[in-house]
Chains A and B, each alone.
Chain A
C-alpha cells in the first residue's frame, strides 16, 4: 500500500523545538506566555454554593464599578424584599438598646468635649446644668447677641402660647398647634442671628418636614418557610423619618473622635429576632434619602430638630407608669434618626457596606416637645454592618446625648417664667459648629 510515510511526530517536534531552543539564548528569561485558556472559576448559573458566591461577587463588583452615585444607590436598593420598618418615635419598651444593636452604635452620656461649653457632667435629677464659669463663653458669642437670642426665644414662646388667639386644638394635635410653629420660628430666627458667627449657616439650606430614609442590612437568619426555606438571608431594615426641620450644609462637619480610636463602651447584643421588639415587616420601595437628591450641593448634614409626637409626650408616659421610658425613647429617636441621616450622607458620597468609610460622618440633633430639650451628637464610623463585612470590623458608631432639660418653667400672664440659659447656650453651640478651616 502506498501509505504516506509518517515521520514520527515526536522527532519532528523535537527537532523543531530543539531548533527553537538553540536559537534562543540560554540566559534569556522565559517569555511570558499568555494563558491559553480562561481562568477556571465556578459557574454562574449552576445550583451550587460556589455559583451563588460567584453571583454575589459579580454583584459587588458591579456596584463597585458603578459610574455614578445614583447608579450605585439604584443597584443597592433595586431588589425589594420584606424588611423591618424601624420607627424612630416608637411605643416599644427599651427600644434604644435594640436600636443600638441594629445600628452598631455605642451611647456615651454627655456631649463630646468640643460641644461641652466648658462643663462635663450633666446633673441627671432635674436636668439642670452647673453653670459654666463666667457665664456666656466670650470667645464664641457676645452678650448682646445672646440677650437678643433670649428675647427672640421668649417672644417665640409667648407668641404661640399667649399672644396668638387660637381655638382649642383637636385631639392629639396639640404639638402641631402650639409647638411646631414655635420650633420653626426658633430655628429660623436663631440661625439667621448666628449667621454672622458661622459662615456655614449662610450657605446652608433649611428644610421643613423633609423625608429622611435609609436602608441597610444587619445580621442573618434562616428563612423559616416558603420557597426560599432553609437559606441564609440577611435581615433588612428601613427607616423613614420626618424630622420637623433640618439644616443641610455644603461642607462636612469635623469629626469628634478619630476614626481608629476605640471606645470603651460596648455595643449591646440582642439575641432575639427583631420582631420580638415588636417590629413589623413590610415590602416597599427601598429609599436612601438625606432630604434632597444627590445633585443638591448641600449634601452634608448639620442639625436636625425633632418634635415629639402627642402620643409619646411626657404626661402620657407618666400617666401610663412609664416614667423611666422618657429618656429611653428620646435616645432611641436620636439614634435611629441620626444613623439614618449620617448613613444616607455617607452613601451619597459613594460608601457602602463593602466600601467602608474613609472618614467619619458627623451630625447633630435636638429632640424637643416644646418645653424639654435634649441634645445629641452622632458620629458614623462604619457602614459595614452585614455579616460578611462585620466579621473583623472593630469600628463602632458613637452617639453622645444629654438628658432632657427644661427650656422654660411656665408661661404666666404674658411672661416666660424660668427661661434656662444653659439650654440656649447649648443650642447656640450646636448651631455654631463648623469645620475648622472656615
Chain B
C-alpha cells in the first residue's frame, strides 16, 4: 500500500478515535490536516486521475468528508456544514462509477435538504431534489425532508413541529430545532401581510410563544418596526414604509424629446 495513503488512513483512525471520545477540538485540528493531505492525491476530484490506489483513496476521502459533515453538525456550524458537504458532493455525484455507494449517502443528502429548508433556501432545495434519482426518494431520510417541505409549503406548521419526534437519524435533531425558528419567521411574515393588527394573546398563540415576555423579546429582536399598543400588535408601520412607485416623468419626457430630435436628423 502507498505510504501516503497509509499515513492518511492512520491519521483518520486517530480522528475517529477522537471523535468517539467526543474530543471535538482534536477532531477539528486533525480534520484540517487531513484535508490538506487529501489535496495531494491526484485521483480525487477534480482531477480523477487513474492511479492504482484510486478506489481506496476515493473511499477514504469520501469517508473523511462524511465525518467532516457530521462533525460540523455536532459543532453546530452551518457554514462548515455547507463547505464540507459541497466538497463531499463530487464523491456521490461524479465518482459513483468508480466506488460503491456509501451507506451514509442518503442520510447526509437528507441532512443537506433539511439544512436548505431551515435556511429557507427553497429554490436550492428543489434543485438538489431534482438531482436525486427516483428511487432515492423512497429512502426514509429523503422522504422525511420532502414531507417536511410539503407541510411547510402548505402552511401545516403544526405538522412540521410534530415531525421533530420522528427523526430518522440522530444528527437531524439539531436542524429540526432550528426549523421551529424558520417556521416562526414564516408565520410572522404572513401575519404582517394578512393583518393590520393582532391582539397580544392571538399573536402569542400564532407565533407559538408560551409567554408575553418571549413575544416582546422576539419583536424587539426580529421585527422592531412592529408596534405594541393597547394590548395589540400593529403591523401598519411596516406596510407604510414600503416606497410607492412613482412615474419617472422627467426621464420619459427627456427620452421622447431626444427621439424626436433624432428622427429629425434621419436623412
**Do A and B come together as binding partners?**
no
Tell me the A residues contacting B by CB distance below 8 Å: none
> Which B residues fall within an 8 A CB radius of A?
none
